[in-house]
Amino acid sequence: MADHPAPGAPSRRFAQGPQSAAEARRFVRSALDGVAPDLVETAQLLVGELVTNALLHARTEVEVSARVDGGTVRVEVTDRRPDRGLVPYSYPPYAGTGQGLALVGKLASGHGVDVGQDTKTVWFELAPDGTPRQPDGWETSAPPSGPGSAATVTLVDVPGALYSASQQHRHRLLREVVLALASGDDLGVPPGELAAAQDMNLLISTCVTAALRQEANGAEIRSLPLPVPSDAGPAVQALRTVLHLAEEKARDERFLTLPALPRSRVFHEWLFDQIVGQLAGGPPTAWTVVPREPGASPSELVPWDVGQVHASRVATIAADERNTIIAANGPAADLLGRHPDDLVGLPLTTLIPEHLRKRHLAAFTSLLLSGQPRILGRSVPLPALHRDGRLVPVRLFIQTQEMPDGRTVFVAQLIPRAAAPVTPSRPPGRARPLAPQPPGRPSPQTGGTGAGMSALERLTLLADTGAALTNAPNLDEGVGQVGRVLTDRLADWCAVDLFTAEAARVERVCVVRRAPETACPEEYEGRLPPVSETARGPLARALRGAGPLLLTEAPPPGQATSPLDTHYRDLLRGMGTRSAVVAPLRARGEVIGALTVARGGAERPFTEDDLPLIDDLARALALGADNARLYQETRNIAERLQRSLLPVLPEIDHLQISARYAASSTTAQVGGDWYDSFVLPGGDTAVVIGDVTGHNLDAAIAMSQLRSMLRGIAVDRQEPPETVLRRLDMANHSLYREATATCIYGLVKGPADGPWELVHSSAGHLPPLLVGEDGRTRYLQDGAGVLLGLDLDLPRPRARDAIPARSTVLLYTDGLIERRDESLDDAMDRLRRHAAALAREPLDVFCDELLIGLGADSDDDIAVLAVRPVPPS
């Protein structure tokens, strides 16, 4: 590190105010009179950045000194906040804030920070030859601590790219607020509230930056522990209030900074809610499960990458915030008559018909200026401009994504749609025949959409219908997705009715309209009247297997002979139907429901030419719905099987026992993890935890047999734990020669008023954790032996440990702690910290909080068993 400047070095103090940065630059120019102009200009640039940092973050007066020693320029900036350390951020070159320390690091030949008892001095040197050496990076300070005690907030599934973009925007808004207040604008922000907001903003940024640097796995979405003061709640609310006010000013164009896009605003609300809620004792909620409105929902949780566009089979184009195309794939180029490389670099307006360009520019500018989306996250029918000048009908679906450096990308999918043929005119007042037409009867209209579609368009519609069900997490959502596909490309509205488990009862699982702002009347949804013998209407006929039936006129009132017929007639009339097709849904030789697609208003009515396509769509829908139901039934059976394998814990007056099981979200609903506890005839309480190798039904079966055999051996023989495990290993060897498993068998011994001890033996399992009432923790490492299924002749040791009153013995499986790219020691340390913080919580809360805090991102099964001796009151 360079020497401190001589006492006689020129220096000057500057008040806390935005004018001080410019005054400091002028002072440096005066103090360096006679120095080479390029060094002076660089020194002015860097001192302005450092003074600005000090004014924004330290908020004290600053002292600047400048001198020349042997041709080397040395400049120092001193503030009165030694506790406010430096936290350099990795901001991209175009970011509006955060460049000060980065510029010093790139341009200076040397730099550093000296912290004294009452001051902090940031300095830099410029070599006389003008060639900066590459100095070491800035030393990152520890996260600043607040006046209260420390607490840990867990941010689950933090998207790195979105956080980077949100952090940059947060800093820009706060800078604008500071500048506006300094210039005399009355923004309604008290100075104390702004100071609290600035401090909390720095604290959050510092803590997240430190946590991200400790993540070595390189994952884009991370779960981060955030150390914050336990009394930080009011400061977070102050930051939220100031940012809301600043967003309003940005939308009113009173700031140079643009307002945030929807997803960034939702992310900030989630971030602040997590900090405030967890400090108040609430559980963490993952970012990936927070519900959002269209335009703010992250359909892609990974950052945007050009490979995503190129790999998509849907015509896709990506544009940046300058409205310039930055990527396009082959399907998009083919659709528009261009080459993908020719599209890159063009203004997006090149692909928009001239009559829509002003509208596009107005909407895009409005989005950037107001942050309010109009079409983000929604499917909009628009024409695209082909290279030869003709219009290509597409359905446009735009969503935003973030690049790894925080910039926003607009990703647009262009789904081809058929151009609607012109409907021939008809005499005014002439009513169309509107009843089911028998096959073979000439239709008043020809050239229906089904016939007008190309083979590729028909196959695409069928494929998208099947994919909507396949990709949905459950049947109801899948059917809703199918409804949106059909109303996007075929109908004004559609309805799907499915038989329930009750005989002859039908439930309308969805009614979808093309216009999303027009809600469907509630009386048309839900449970329908029964399909009685008197029901003769089109829906009843379809539910009995007839059709598809073409409806060109609403059934007259006299034909509505049953409540179901009346209900369906009212649906057609209430939805403004001009024509409709109702088709049965057949699967495995049975009718499982019916599909209705309908048109109204100016739409060209359905004709018989449409029936083959709608019949194919109904078959695809029926197959997908039937498979979804079978899958759900299989899941339900598996869940019931898993629940049946979980034992009922014993009730003991002086011993609290609690357990939890969480199946993996990425594997089968049944697995090899298990726990057990029971009272032996001699009065001891047995505690068991185990894990059979594998994640499938075989592992679950082996687990069930092991659990049953262990309980039988333990109750019958009442032998020491190591002997019981040896006998269990022998029995397991006779059933599964190649199978391995881990297991802990322990006995909690002691009278009702204590003292208590745990006598246990472990077959390759993770050690129990003893958590004292005072929060001190200790792993019970003794008693460890080999896995079950390895070697019957190896000895099995026994361990004996005292259990203090109101302490907790935790048994757990590896799914609770093990993570990819993390050492087992680090994982076990994390468990100790979480368990210590929960030492005084009720045992049920203890177990639940462990699952929430440690198991949120686990891809393995988790079993937990906790035991706590409590003396009689």
Quickly list DSSP for 818-847: --TTS-HHHHHHHHHHHHHHTTTS-HHHHH
Residue 597, sorted as left (phi over 0), alpha (psi -120 to 50) or beta, turns out to be beta
The predicted pLDDT at position 829 comes to 93
Burial of 825 (0-12, 13-18, 19+ CB in 10 A): exposed
Are 318 and 420 a contacting pair, CB within 8 Å? Answer: no
Q: What pLDDT, on a 0 to 100 scale, did the predictor assign at position 865?
A: 94
Write out the H or E segment, with its range, that includes residue 579.
strand 579-587
Q: Judging by DSSP bridges, how do beta strands 784-785 and 756-763 pair with one another? A: parallel
DSSP structural state of residue 82:
T
CB atoms closer than 10 angstroms to residue 772: 15
For the stretch 97-117, pLDDT in tens is 556 777 787 888 888 888 888
* Helices (H), ranges, 337-454: 340-343, 354-370, 449-452
What pLDDT score does 379 carry?
Answer: 57
Report, as an integer, the average pLDDT of 531-546: 86
Position 448 pLDDT exceeds 50: no
SS3 162: helix
pLDDT band at 426 (very low <50, low <70, confident <90, very high): very low
Q: Which residue has the higher pLDDT, 747 or 10?
A: 747
pLDDT of residue 510: 84
**pLDDT tens digit sequence for 855-870:** 655 667 788 999 999 9
* Whole-angstrom distance, CA of residue 80 vs CA of residue 55: 11
587 vs 829 pLDDT, higher one: 829
Q: The tokens of 280 are what?
A: 């108040």
Long-range contact pairs involving 710-717 (C-beta distance under 8 Å, separation at least 24):
710/676, 710/743, 710/745, 711/676, 711/678, 711/686, 714/678, 714/680, 714/686, 714/745, 715/678, 715/680, 715/681
CB atoms within 10 A of CB 64: 24
Q: Per-residue pLDDT averaged across 401-405, rounded?
A: 65
Find the mean pLDDT for residues 291-296. 52
Residue appearing with tokens 């003991």:
652
**Residue among 610, 515, 528, 617 at smallest CA distance from 569:** 528
Give the pLDDT score at 564: 87
Mean pLDDT within 600-618? 84
pLDDT digits (tens, 9 = 90+) for 178-218: 778 777 777 777 877 888 888 888 888 877 877 776 664 44
Nearest to 160 by CA among 205, 221, 202: 221
Bigger pLDDT: 87 or 30?
Answer: 30
Q: Which two tokens stand for residue 80?
A: 């009165």
Which amino acid is residue 558, in one-letter code? G
Q: Which of 173-187, 216-230, 536-550, 743-757 is modeled with the greatest confidence?
A: 743-757
Confidence of residue 487 (pLDDT cuts 50, 70, 90): confident
318 in Cβ contact with 412 (< 8 Å): yes
More confident residue, 626 or 829: 829
d(CA 745, CA 722): 8
Residue-level pLDDT at 2: 38
Residues 6+ apart with CB under 8 A from 408: 165, 261, 320, 321, 400, 401, 402
Maximum distance among all alpha carbons in the chain? 107
Residue 550: strand pairing partners:
581
Average pLDDT score over residue span 230-251: 86
Dump pLDDT digits (tens) for 52-72: 888 777 788 899 999 888 888
Q: Environment class of residue 9 by beta-carbon count within 10 Å: exposed (0-12), middle (13-18) or buried (19+)? A: middle
Higher pLDDT, 779 or 293: 779
The Cα–Cα gap between 669 and 632 comes to 11
More confident residue, 852 or 19: 19
List, in sequence order, every beta strand (DSSP E) within 147-211. 150-159
pLDDT at 8 over 70: no
The answer to whether 584 and 618 have CB atoms below 8 angstroms apart is yes
CB 799 within 8 A of CB 789: no
Does residue 61 sit in helix, strand or coil?
coil
Distance from chain centroid for Cα 259: 23
The predicted pLDDT at position 519 comes to 54
The predicted pLDDT at position 807 comes to 96
At residue 549, φ and ψ (nearest 5 deg) are -110, 130
Q: What pLDDT does 605 receive?
A: 86
The stretch 548-564 carries a mean pLDDT of: 75
User: How high is the pLDDT of residue 533?
Assistant: 79
Model pLDDT, residue 441? 32
Query: If you ran DSSP here, which 8-state letter would residue 93 be given?
Result: T
The SS3 of residue 139 is: coil
Helices assigned H by DSSP within 575-696: 611-645
Predicted TM-score (pTM) of the model is 0.41
pLDDT digits (tens, 9 = 90+) for 337-386: 888 888 888 888 888 887 777 767 767 776 766 656 666 766 566 678 88
* pLDDT score recorded for residue 666: 47
740 or 695: which carries more pLDDT confidence? 740
In this prediction, residue 802 has a pLDDT band, given cuts at 50, 70 and 90, of: very high
Q: Contact 502/533 with Cβ under 8 angstroms?
A: no
Output 799 or 624, whichever has higher pLDDT.
Answer: 799
Note the pLDDT of residue 790: 83
The residues, any chain, with a CB within 8 Å of residue 734's CB and separated by 6 or more, are none
What value does the mean pLDDT take over residues 75-100? 70
Distance CA 94, CA 321 (A): 13
Task: Work out the pLDDT band at 747, boundaries 50, 70, 90.
Answer: very high
Percent of the chain with pLDDT over 90: 16
pLDDT at residue number 705: 82
Give the total residue count for the chain. Answer: 873
Residues 503-517 have pLDDT tens digits of 568 888 888 888 655
pLDDT tens by residue, 634-692: 655 655 666 667 788 999 989 999 988 776 544 445 567 889 999 999 999 999 999 88
Contacts of 853 (CB under 8 A, 6+ apart): 154, 284, 834
| Per-residue pLDDT band at 311 (split at 50, 70, 90) | low
pLDDT confidence band for 445 (50 / 70 / 90): very low
The predicted structure's pLDDT at residue 638: 59
pLDDT at 480: 82
**pLDDT value of residue 138:** 63
Cα radius of gyration rounded to whole Å, the chain: 35
Least confident of 341-345, 559-563, 766-770: 559-563
The pLDDT value recorded for residue 290 is 66
Alpha-carbon dihedral sign for residues 195, 196, 199, 201: negative
Q: What percent of the chain has pLDDT over 70?
A: 77
Q: Tell me which of 748 and 332 has the higher pLDDT.
A: 748
C-alpha span between 176 and 56 (Å, rounded)? 11
Residue 11's pLDDT is 86
Average pLDDT, rounded, for the chain:
78
